[in-house]
Amino acid sequence: MTATTDGSTGAMRPRVAAASETDINTPVAAGVHEAAALAVQRATDFLLSQQDAQGWWKGDLDTNVTMDAEDLLLRQFLGIRDESTTRAAALFIRGEQREDGTWASFYGGPGELSTTIEAYVALRLAGDAPDAPHMAKASAWVRERGGIASARVFTRIWLALFGWWKWDDLPELPPELIYFPTWVPLNIYDFGCWARQTIVPLTVVSAKRPVRPAPFPLDELHTDADNPNPVKPLAKVASWDGAFQRLDKALHLYRKVAPRKLRGAAMQSAARWIIERQENDGCWGGIQPPAVYSVIALHLLGYDLEHPVMRAGLESLDRFAIWREDGARMIEACQSPVWDTCLATIALADAGVPADHPQLVKAADWMLGEEIVRPGDWAVKRPQLPPGGWAFEFHNDNYPDIDDTAEVVLALRRVRHHDPERVDRAVGRGVRWNLGMQSKNGGWGAFDVDNTSPFPNRLPFCDFGEVIDPPSADVTAHVVEMLAVEGLAHDPRTRRGIEWLLAEQEPDGSWFGRWGVNYVYGTGSVVPALAAAGLPGSHPAIRRAVTWLETVQNDDGGWGEDLRSYKYAKEWSGRGASTASQTAWALMALLAAGEHDSKAVERGIEWLATTQREDGSWDEPYFTGTGFPWDFSINYHLYRQVFPLTALGRYVHGEPFTRTVSPAVSQTKGG
């Protein structure tokens, strides 16, 4: 892909390749439907071949090199860094460096300051000399952009652990926060679950302020050697930023007078909170960042590395590592087996695989075994709600999520299981739990109810990514679709969800995508949900969405959207190089809207057929998943397989909600 400069933003706008530029040119002369049917068969065979013997699917999950850099820094801090791990991590990090010496946070993205700093420090740990050409280029770029002083707070915390930054010049995060009741602003449950799990251990780290001997200086990353920690001016008192900056100054003063017994008790309470939330596999929340900070916090509180909690935590971190054939070692931020398995099951069923196919039944068995039937942190806001749901990862019983639960129900209903009563019971619990997790505005967030406080994002500490979990269009859409399939399309709670979705439509006809990139994902999620709930293709909201999708279709027939749409929505909404997953999302929306025979659908199907590889898969280096909009992006390696197969299958076989996919669905829809 080549690019041209956008004068209004300075960003690089991609030039979308024409279909003739693709490496593969599968003939479609026999007709679009025939080409689609052939592509479905190839993709089905490929996806079936990727299933684990236990019944699950899991693709690699790429994020960025901060995962790898922080893994090395953790090992350095704990005194357990070894040469083989360091060498393998460095090999991966070097391979991700761009020509200009920087590291980006997503494929094809611009250089990112904090990512570049952390990668640079990791390579210094690996022995790369600061005057080596690739290192000198990186450090010069960092200095040009303000040096370490301009990095985000999390990066400066890592550097403070080794004395490369002063703790006094970081935002204060008191452990007494653990005692705030839920009605007090900025209590830990005002934060989204991923932020909550990170902030609690960081309160201990902030209170302890540890400094390990630095293995080398980092003067080359400072713009002013005499004043490496410059003080930034305060914002106006009357502004939110100014108010929270002054609150931070007050917390720094409180640190000096905090009662020692209270502080010590708060840290011990934080430790108990952390340990209570450690999963059976030793991890925390099934994701890497909370696990890293929890290990550091407990270590600072006296837990030695042989303690069972610590040993299990460190072992769990090793399971995030993917060793590649070239000897490089990549760290996944998390793993997505439940999400991947339910999406793969839906794709295969919609592609025509029999509902009682042994591999679908095995997948259903595995998903049923992953159901979470005990309360988690969500019960703080919903203490009377019985548990029932699914998480994203192998082990994350404290944090089932609403999105996975909805999609797992949709997947289970596509399988003809040998124990239908067991399926009905699990689905019933999942539906009940999802309904109970509806926010008061009618929408659904990913993990929590009414997690919409405006205050956490204002804290000086929270300068990276989303720290709250408000309802989003994509999650709400998946829940609405699931409820419709369960015969609850006319339930008042479903109707409230539909009303919320209609109110959230953008003026151009699209929907914002919180957990996938971006407006194409949001629109590809919402339109099928509205159609499943009974809105006709002639509904004005659906017609606006169709028009928008037709407008942003690329010349090659596919769809794509660059992550810059999160930052520059006007210029980048629905714009980017065509990808298999995003083309599939657009097609899923158009097919649900009744556009099966439209030219836009035909061209999109042709693009998928012509770009499919001989083994039935698709290539997709672009990041189309979202952790935090713009700040943290994800390349789910299975997206490029499951979504194209879903779209092609629906093109060939029809929409799933217009045909019976299991006895249970037939009964609910008939009632």
3 state SS for 521-563: HHHHHHHHHHHHCCCCCCCHHHHHHHHHHHHHCCCCCCCCCCH
The answer to whether 141 and 115 have CB atoms below 8 angstroms apart is: no
Question: What is the SS3 assignment for 4?
Answer: strand
Do the beta carbons of residue 344 and residue 337 sit within 8 Å?
no
Token readout for 506 is 């953008």
Is 164:189 a contact under the CB 8 Å cutoff? no
Which one-letter DSSP state was computed for residue 632? E
Q: Copy the structure tokens of residue 618.
A: 């698709």
Integer Cα distance of 115 and 206 in angstroms: 22
Neighbours of 616 (CB within 10 A): 21
> Burial, 343: exposed, middle or buried (Cβ in 10 Å; 0-12, 13-18, 19+)?
buried
DSSP, collapsed to helix, strand or coil, labels residue 96 as: coil
* Residue with token string 């606006």: 544
Q: Which 3 state secondary structure label does DSSP give 6?
A: coil
Task: For 562-586, give one letter per residue: b (16+ CB within 10 A) or e.
Answer: bbbbbebbeebbbbbbbbbbbbbbb
User: Cβ distance 588 to 15 under 8 Å?
Assistant: no
Going by their DSSP bridges, the two strands 329-331 and 12-14 should be labelled as: unpaired
Q: Got the DSSP string for 229-292?
A: SPPPPPPPTTSHHHHHHHHHHHHHHHHHH--HHHHHHHHHHHHHHHHHTB-TTS-BTTBHHHHH
Residue 631 annotated in active site: no
- For the residues of 460-510, what is the DSSP string, one character each? TT--SS---B---HHHHHHHHHHHHHTT-TTSHHHHHHHHHHHHH--TTS-
553: left (phi over 0), alpha (psi -120 to 50) or beta: beta
Angle at 635 between CA 444 and CA 322, to 5 degrees: 115
Query: CA-to-CA distance for 417 and 415, rounded, in angstroms?
Result: 6
Task: Give the SS3 label for residue 398.
Answer: coil
Residue 620 tokens read as 């997709």
Of the listed 377, 403, 448, 562, which one is catalytic?
403
* Residue 134 to residue 448: CA distance in whole angstroms: 44
Q: How far is CA 348 from CA 253, 517, 635, in A?
A: 60, 23, 21
Handedness of CA 318, 321, 323, 328 (dihedral sign): negative
What length is written for the chain?
A: 671
**Cα end-to-end span (Å), the chain:** 52
Residues designated catalytic: 403
